[in-house]
Amino acid sequence: MKIRFFNARILTMEKGKEPFWGELRVKDDKIEKILREEDKVASSETEIWDEEIDCGGNLLMPGFKNAHTHSPMTFLRSYADDLPLNQWLYDRVFPMEAKLSDEAMYEFARLAVLEYLAGGITSVFDMYLKPELTAKACMDMGMRCVLVSGLNDFTSSPKQMEEEYNTLNHFSPLIQYRLGFHAEYTCSKALLEQVSQLSHKYETPVYCHLSETEKEVSDCRKKYGMTPTAFLDSLGIFDYGGGGYHCVYMSEEDLSIFQKHGLYVVTNPASNLKLASGIAPIAEFEKRGIPVAIGTDGAASNNCLDMFREMFLVSGLSKVLTKDAASTDACDVLRMATVNGSLAMGIPETDVLSEGKLADLILIDLNQPNMHPFHNIPKNLVYSGNKGNILLTMINGNILYRDGRYPGVDAQEIYFRCEELLKRM
């Protein structure tokens, strides 16, 4: 397939590059060429395109990278609300998850993909039970997905995680898999030692929920005399990099460990607010050069898989926490939601719009009141943008969402199947 986007403003997200007028050409799954308007030259050569899209002055940019989510958990949207984390998890979430069938996990993952696409999300970093089902759902829908194991004392095993690592990394060009585990508090020391051994065997990074609540940190100190980050580091789990989801309560030692290993923080502000977990110290991470990516978390705790809302909260909450309105600039936040997400997930070929990169991109509608005037388009996206501004979402060179529709997918059928499956549960 050859697709030409023309008459566009283009924000490549490359450092130091402002939005410019031009055109972008896609061939198969990659960006073939990007031309600035002033650099285009007349040519007698006739190019044949499968489709030419007049962007009407709207904005082409890399898609958002949802760097922490649990896709099948759409089945719990608005089911376990207004509860503290432990009660939410043990009294509501776990009992319902025990009723999940394979069919339900697959269909509710597809429901999540519909929401991702409508919100301009072109890849997700997903942790959930039976990752092969999420992998199949994403592959069938054309969604790029990096899976991470949610290993714990109750589900999965190191042997199963190793099998998934060796299988799912060859499952589809759209699918990759990373080693991981749910959290320190759901894993025995013996289990975590096996995770460390696997990381060293394959020389690969590890990811997990980390320091999400004060109780988690306090309990770990009582148990091991260390914070979760320090304890995991003592086992060698982060020797090959990786990162933590949430990272709300971080000690000086924790921050040094993140710096030492080049670990990524994946912040989830809406989920942390809704569960009253706290506010992550984003400005401190930035000050120390610790890279930050952004995730929505699952629909059970958010409940909206919306990167626009997350971006606003990352910046706004940082300003409140530091009592400094200059803290955490919107342009840096936009980078967290795009470039840093790609790097945290280990898919640098999707980080910016550049020739030879994968064609994972979105078209933003600037012809709406919330986008005017054009004082600063990137800051408009963070502070006033919303999912209604997404005109088109392309992944791997395929247009998967356009003008409110999903080409080749019957969204109504997915809604119906999910409602029927929920009734059975």
Q: What is the dihedral of CA 414, 275, 245, 167, to 10 degrees?
A: -30
Question: Does residue 142 fall inside a structural domain?
Answer: yes
Q: What is the pLDDT of residue 45?
A: 58
Could you write out the DSSP letters of every residue in 288-319? TT--EEE----TTTS----HHHHHHHHHHHHH
* Residue 86 pLDDT: 80
Same domain, 113 and 258: yes
What pLDDT, on a 0 to 100 scale, did the predictor assign at position 362? 99
Average pLDDT over residues 248-261: 98
Average confidence (pLDDT) over 347-362: 98
Domain carrying residue 46: 2-62+350-402
Same domain, 325 and 389: no
pLDDT tens digit sequence for 382-410: 999 999 999 999 999 999 999 999 999 99
Answer with the one of 349, 381, 412 that is the final residue of a domain: 349
Q: Which two tokens stand for residue 205?
A: 């990074």
Amino acid at 26: V
Residues 82 and 51 in one domain: no
- Residues 181, 41, single domain; the answer is no
Q: Is residue 102 part of a domain?
A: yes
Domain CATH code at residue 212: 3.20.20.140
**CATH code assigned at 32:** 2.30.40.10
Q: What does the pLDDT look like over 11-46, one tens digit per residue? A: 999 999 999 999 999 999 999 999 998 887 554 457
Q: Is the pLDDT reported for residue 85 higher than 80?
A: no
Task: Establish if 414 belongs to a structural domain.
Answer: no
Query: What would the mean pLDDT of 301-310 be, rounded to a whole number?
Result: 96
Residue after which a domain boundary falls, among 281, 315, 349 = 349
Do 107 and 168 have their domain in common? yes
Q: Is the separation of the CB atoms in 19 and 10 below 8 Å?
A: yes
pLDDT at 360 over 80: yes
Average pLDDT, integer, range 357-376: 98
Predicted confidence at residue 361, as pLDDT, reads: 99
Judge if 262 and 311 occupy the same domain: yes
Is 272 in the same domain as 368?
Answer: no
Which of 349, 364, 387 is the C-terminal boundary of a domain? 349
User: Which residue, chain included where needed, has tokens 């060179």?
Assistant: 397
pLDDT in tens, 144-190: 999 999 999 999 999 999 999 999 999 999 999 999 999 999 999 99
pLDDT at 67: 98
pLDDT digits (tens, 9 = 90+) for 267-292: 999 999 999 999 999 999 999 999 99
Q: Which residue has the tokens 């706290």?
A: 278
- pLDDT over 90 for what percent of the chain? 94
Same-domain status, 174 and 245: yes
Question: Mean per-residue pLDDT for 202-219?
Answer: 97
pLDDT range class, residue 47, cuts 50, 70, 90: confident
Domain-located, residue 423: no
Res 44: pLDDT: 43
Q: Does residue 412 sit within a domain?
A: no
Structure confidence at residue 136 (pLDDT): 98
Q: What is the mean pLDDT of residues 297-318?
A: 97
∠ at Cα 142 (136, 148), nearest 5°? 50
pTM across the whole model: 0.97
Collapse the DSSP code of 415 into the 3-class scheme (helix H, G, I; strand E, B; otherwise coil) and give the result.
helix
Amino acid at 46: T
Q: Are 35 and 78 found together in one domain?
A: no
Q: Phi/psi at 70 (nearest 5 deg)?
A: -130, 85
- What proportion of the chain, given as a percentage, has pLDDT over 70? 99
Tally of structural domains, the chain: 2
What's the pLDDT at 84? Answer: 79
Residues 219 and 279 in one domain: yes
Q: Report H helices in 91-188.
A: 94-97, 102-118, 131-141, 158-168
Query: According to the model, what pLDDT value does residue 41 have?
Result: 59
Is 321 contained in some domain? yes
Q: 343 in a domain, yes or no?
A: yes
The answer to whether residues 41 and 122 belong to one domain is no
Terminus-to-terminus CA distance in the chain, angstroms? 42
Amino acid 39: pLDDT? 80
Question: What's the CA gap between 400 and 275, in Å, rounded?
Answer: 33
CA–CA separation, 7 and 5 (whole Å): 7
Give the position of tokens 């009294």: 91
- For residue 424, being part of any structural domain is answered with no
Q: Can you point out the beta strands (E) in 203-263?
A: 206-210, 242-246
Any residues with CB less than 8 A from the CB of 392 and at least 6 apart, and which? 53, 362, 363, 399, 401, 402, 403
d(CA 253, CA 112): 37
Q: Which of 29-43, 74-88, 134-148 has the lowest mean pLDDT?
A: 29-43
User: Are residues 74 and 49 part of one domain?
Assistant: no
| Closest C-alpha to 245, from 223, 283, 216 | 216
